[in-house]
Amino acid sequence: MTTYALERPAALPGLLSVGLARGGIELKQFFRSREQVVFTFTFPAIILILLGSIFNGTFEGTGVTAGQVYTASMAGSGIIATSFLNLGIGVAQDRDDHTLKRLRGAPIPASAYFIGKIILVAVASLAEVIVLLAVGMLLFDVELPSSADRWLTFAWVFVLGTITCSLLGIAVSSMAKSAQAAAAVVNVPYVALQFVSGVYIIPITTLPGWMIDIGSLFPVKWVAQGFRSVFLPDSMMSMEAAGSWELGKTALVLGAWCVIGVVLCLLTFRWTNRKDG
């Protein structure tokens, strides 16, 4: 009598392996889109070069130039562009072309999609910071910090800022009725917040008080200020609205926005456009 051994079905890949694979796909798609790569990395660098060259004075008693301040501020706002803008437009595009609908119906964990996006944002954000710091070091004599505590500050501001703005980007993507509308939906608040958060206007104390108050409600101001605390000497604290780096408050505000971002994503995220049902 012949017996047959039953083969066990192959185990499905785990969430982490699927998420990493999805991250690889996201990175390939991003870096193969030359227009997107060029715009993402060169636009902030061009703005930095222009502002740092036009406003090339030195702050009295500090030895710090405007170009060095712009480098620190824009390194912070740069990760907001790669997270908030990237996901705000990218997720809307994925929803519009039914990528999300297909992934939702695929036999893989839905959260693998978000792991892939996190990998994309982390790599792009770090690359953005490196590009802007390289421009600052080459053109404006920016010096990298030499103390471990400043690098630790850089790490937690980078992580909290990236997470916060990624969550807000995913949430705001649901406001756009189409991929074409997404660019306008995310760019308007992003550009406006650059000004009221003191990224383009230095020192921030030259802004009207009501603008500073509005900017203080949003993450852009705190990420930029946190990066200034890393790459600028403490003599520049007097140029901040509160006269200090306020690192504790920065952590609290960004942490609060992480929670808000999670809540907004849970309330607003959709796998399909409303018109698709």
For 156-173, the pLDDT digits (tens) are 999 999 999 999 998 988
Range of the domain at 54: 15-269
The answer to whether 67 touches 140, Cβ cutoff 8 Å, is yes
Residue 46 falls inside a structural domain? yes
Phi first, then psi, for residue 58 (nearest 5°) are: -115, 135
Question: What pLDDT score was predicted for residue 46?
Answer: 92
Residue with tokens 């405007």: 66
Residue 8 falls inside a structural domain? no
CA 206 to chain centroid: 26
Residue with tokens 């003599």: 235
Question: What pLDDT score was predicted for residue 245?
Answer: 95
Alpha-carbon distances, residue 252 vs 110, 162, 213 (angstroms): 30, 15, 16
The pLDDT tens digits for 62-116 are 889 999 999 999 998 888 888 898 888 888 888 888 888 887 777 677 778 888 8
Quote the tokens at residue 33: 């889109």
Q: Count structural domains, the chain.
A: 1
Residue 1 falls inside a structural domain? no
The pLDDT tens digits for 218-269 are 999 999 999 999 999 999 999 999 999 999 999 999 999 999 999 998 898 8
Question: What pLDDT score was predicted for residue 155?
Answer: 96
Residue 59 falls inside a structural domain? yes
Spell out the long-range contacts of 138-144 with Cβ–Cβ below 8 A and sequence spacing 24 or more: 139/49, 139/52, 139/53, 139/67, 140/52, 140/65, 140/67, 140/68, 140/70, 140/71, 141/65, 141/67, 141/68, 142/67, 142/68, 142/71, 142/72, 142/231, 143/231, 144/231
Higher pLDDT, 42 or 219: 219
Residue 3 falls inside a structural domain? no
The yes-or-no verdict on residue 9 having pLDDT over 90 is no
The pLDDT tens digits for 108-140 are 777 788 888 888 999 999 999 999 999 999 999
Is the pTM above the cut of 0.75?
yes
What's the chain's average pLDDT? 87
The answer to whether 178 touches 92, Cβ cutoff 8 Å, is yes
The pLDDT tens digits for 18-29 are 778 888 888 888
Question: What pLDDT score was predicted for residue 220?
Answer: 93
Residues 6+ apart with CB under 8 A from 143: 137, 231
The yes-or-no verdict on residue 211 having pLDDT over 80 is yes
The pLDDT tens digits for 178-201 are 777 888 888 888 889 999 999 998
Residue 171 falls inside a structural domain? yes
Residue 188 falls inside a structural domain? yes
Residue 203 falls inside a structural domain? yes
Question: What pLDDT score was predicted for residue 47?
Answer: 92
Q: What percent of the chain has pLDDT over 90?
A: 47
The yes-or-no verdict on residue 174 having pLDDT over 60 is yes
3-class SS of residue 217? coil
